[in-house]
Amino acid sequence: MLSIIVAISKNYCIGNGGRIPWKIPGEQKRFKELTTGNTVIMGRRTFAEIGHPLPNRKTVLVSNTYTWNDENCVTVGSFEEALRVSDPLHNEVYVAGGAGIYRAALPYADRLYITFVDIEVDGDTFFPRFDKYGFEQVECTCFDGEIPYRYVTYERRPASPDEA
């Protein structure tokens, strides 16, 4: 099972200057709950924002310029290699960004966990527009607050017989 996990503003922004451009108490709760005990693939800039491998998870860092290898983290040079070492056939593997990694993962993703954050923000990093019709929405939970957000889960629709 390969899953994308991301928080997106109304204008599809995910980052600005190496940071997530909003701070909403509780908004990242689902990230921790879902990814704990599983494998998380991320690019070098996303890893740099966190600063270290995620506790209680296996981190697969994609980079050709920086390396961090220890018992909880392995560095690979491409998204395809990240998939090979993550073994999504036997684990739930979460793709946690940034933009290039999401783009590479979208054709393979079985599930999308998207937090839609109800603001427009300035930024320099954006989630790729994707074919929503290829996915079925299976969950939507709304949260009120100064900046409302909603947790939405999509699952890939089976290919039609014509496409198979």
Residue ranges binding ligand NAP (CB under 6 A): 6-7, 14-15, 18-20, 42-46, 49, 62-66, 78-79, 96-101, 104, 125
If the CB atoms of residues 127 and 135 are measured against ligand NAP, the closer one turns out to be 127
b/e per residue, 68-81, with b = 16+ CB within 10 A? eeeeebbbbeebee
| Cβ–Cβ < 8 Å for 34, 113 | yes
CA separation for the pair 56, 155 (Å, rounded)? 26
Q: Per residue, what are the HEC states of 10-79? A: CCCEEEECCECCCCCCCCCHHHHHHHCCCEEEEEHHHHHHHCCCCCCCEEEEECCCCCCCECCEEEECCH
Residue number with the shortest CB distance to ligand NAP?
A: 98
If the CB atoms of residues 93 and 104 are measured against ligand NAP, the closer one turns out to be 104
Q: Minimal distance in Å, beta carbon 36 to ligand NAP?
A: 17
| Cβ–Cβ < 8 Å for 7, 14 | yes
Q: Minimal distance in Å, beta carbon 137 to ligand NAP?
A: 18
Residue 40, strand partner residues:
59, 94
If the CB atoms of residues 19 and 84 are measured against ligand NAP, the closer one turns out to be 19
If the CB atoms of residues 10 and 157 are measured against ligand NAP, the closer one turns out to be 10
If the CB atoms of residues 7 and 158 are measured against ligand NAP, the closer one turns out to be 7
Would you put residue 145 in left (φ > 0), alpha (ψ -120 to 50) or beta?
left
